[in-house]
Amino acid sequence: MKQMLQQCKRILLIALALTLAVGAVPALAKSRTINGAGATFPFPVYSQWAYQYYRVAKVRLNYQSIGSGGGIRQIKAKTVDFGASDAPLKPADLEAAGLLQFPMIMGGVVPVVNVPGISAGQLKLSGQLLADIFQGKISKWNDARIRADNQGLALPDQAITVVHRSDGSGTTWIFTNYLTKVSSSWAKEIGNNKAVNWPVGVGGKGNEGVASYVQRVKGSIGYVEYAYALQNKMNHVLLKNSDGNYVAPTSETFQAAAAGADWANAKGYYMVLTNQPGENSWPITGASFILMYKNQVKPETARAVLSFFDWCYKNGGEIANNLDYVPMPAKVVDMVEATWRQEIKASGKPVWK
């Protein structure tokens, strides 16, 4: 019995030593790291920015692209320094949680089709028509209403297969936000969220899932982020914007949509860039947002986070453009930084100067 006790003691000692050794490792690695979590849509550009920023400032960004929902939960649980969300939080929700929200990067959502005989930029659709297709009200490509807007296009007698996202996503949020704005029947029956009750069609996981389904199924229509449409050389459609012009998805038309937006009067930067006025505005444009606490406990960390975002706003434009994202206009950046000065505080003192 005595021997057994001794043996147990020895095992315990070894276990204790191991625990201490493991515990010591993170303490050593703890140089300067800022933590964020959230939206997947801007992840490629955030990670590029983080890579470049580490080279100039020696500050590491640990960004987990776990989805906007997860990002919001993590910032509320205070396990990260900032959260990221594709859909803006309502001003009332921000107020209740004591959070500040600002836009970081923009992108566009592009309807893509796979219809035999139709190449990129040939098919013209109005918002109403797009909504009716996604609602299953128009089920054939040679429907009279599609033909009316596309004189001279040889539209086949083929069933339309709608392809949507199966996972909850900011892309779906932006897309359904647009459909809600342009179609009253969509607004009434389906609505706007990161996942909705799709009346027809099949769901692909992620942009790559939708892209591959659309490429697979003849007669299909789906929606993907601009970058995916470009990289997969998919056939985009022309959309009728709120000024009545048919526009193609390009950086210029996304920027036109952002330029026309009235950020100054958007409380809590709650701004959705869909269906914006302007003759060149792409109607399905959206921004991705950052969430931070107004009241910071650790001012150094908060300053490090804001310095990173400041660097991204000022030096990250080219990286964003290369990845087919749209940087925020300088005017909006100035407004955002003014907000930082006023709102983000640590023990009553502003963190950002």
Residues near other proteins (CB under 8 A) are: 3-4, 7, 40, 66-70, 72-73, 159, 161, 166-170, 190-198, 201-205, 209, 212-213, 216-217
CB of 208 to other proteins, least distance (A): 9
Minimum CB–partner distance for residue 130 and other proteins (Å): 18
Pick between residue 93 and residue 337 the one whose CB is nearest to other proteins.
93
* Residue number, 193 or 295, with CB nearest to other proteins: 193
- Read off φ and ψ for residue 163, nearest 5 degrees: -120, 125
Nearest partner of 239 among 337, 161, 127, judged by Cα: 127
Strands 285-293 and 99-114: antiparallel
What is the smallest separation between the CB atom of 226 and other proteins, expressed in angstroms? 20
Contacts of 246 (CB under 8 A, 6+ apart): 124, 238, 239, 240
Nearest distance from C-beta of residue 132 to other proteins, angstroms: 18
Residue 242 C-beta: closest distance to other proteins, Å? 23
Angle ∠(243,245,247) on CA atoms, nearest 5: 120
Cα separation of 49 and 64, whole Å?
14
Question: Across 90-229, where does the E strand assignment appear?
Answer: 99-114, 124-125, 161-165, 202-204, 220-225
Closest CB to other proteins among residues 189, 252: 189
3-state secondary structure of 343: helix
C-beta of 4 vs 21, nearer to other proteins: 4
Beta carbon nearer to other proteins, 170 or 327: 170
Helices (H) and strands (E) in the chain, counts: 14, 15
CB of 124 to other proteins, least distance (A): 25
Q: Between residues 68 and 207, which has the closer beta carbon with respect to other proteins?
A: 68
